[in-house]
Amino acid sequence: MRGNERGVTLLELLIAVSLMSLLSLGVLYSMRVGMDAMAKTNDRFQKNRRVLGVEKALGAQIAGLMPVTVECLGGGGAPGGKAVMFQGDPQAMRFVSSYSLQEGARGYPKLLEYMVIPGENGNGVRLIVNEMPYSGPFSLRGACIGSQPDPETGQAAGLFIPIAPRPDSFILADKLAGVRFLYRDELPPPLFEKWTMKWLRNKLPTAVRMELIPLEPSVANLQVTTTTIPIRVTANPMLNYAD
């Protein structure tokens, strides 16, 4: 007899397929939510890592500053005397360092040029740096085009050519609302120190302060901020440097 045979009706089959489809949809949705959360976490991690990397790179390059001099040009291209190889402007800075972004502390010294340029599509500004090999005074030829008087001491300081972007310029920080460099000068008591936006002394500053203002502040991510980096070089390159 066929009354004892067991089977599945079409309605039961449709219900089972529907349940499996809903279960699969739920699993796929959960996986997508998890992947999105992982992607956001990874993006936040990369941004935070980039911010920490910028601060570390700036600190290492300024800490590796080398006290060297540059031969300036005089009238008619004649020699115009020596100056300390340090250019400090509100949005540009140039010096020689033993630390390179590409080679770290193991490479050859580099002439570093920091400058602020407009961001992509005019969206804020970005901080870039140029790295060029330094092989002695001759490699700095043409960087100093004359002298300018220090308004406080009247002594002559180097007048440098403007810094310009290069095809190999490295972007240190992007999407910034503003960037400003400040330079610390040691003064006798009772003042002890003074911060200025333009360095016009024929010596090295004792510290550099970089004020980086993010274009889109966020409490969820690390933000670039003001960083003060001391310059611990005590040698006077005008007295101790030899060609």
Condensed to tens digits (0 to 9), the pLDDT of residues 95-116 reads 999 988 777 767 789 999 999 9
Whether the upstream peptide bond of residue 149 has omega within 30° of 0, thus cis, is no
User: What's the distance, CA 20 to chain centroid?
Assistant: 53
Which residues, 6+ apart, have CB-to-CB distance to 67 below 8 Å? 84, 204, 233, 235, 236, 237, 240, 241
Say which residues have a Cβ less than 8 Å from residue 80's Cβ, sequence separation at least 6: 71, 72, 73, 74, 144, 146, 147
pLDDT digits (tens, 9 = 90+) for 27-73: 888 788 777 767 665 655 555 556 566 777 788 888 889 999 998 88
> Based on C-alpha coordinates, what's the Rg of the chain?
29
> Is the full-model pTM beyond 0.85?
no
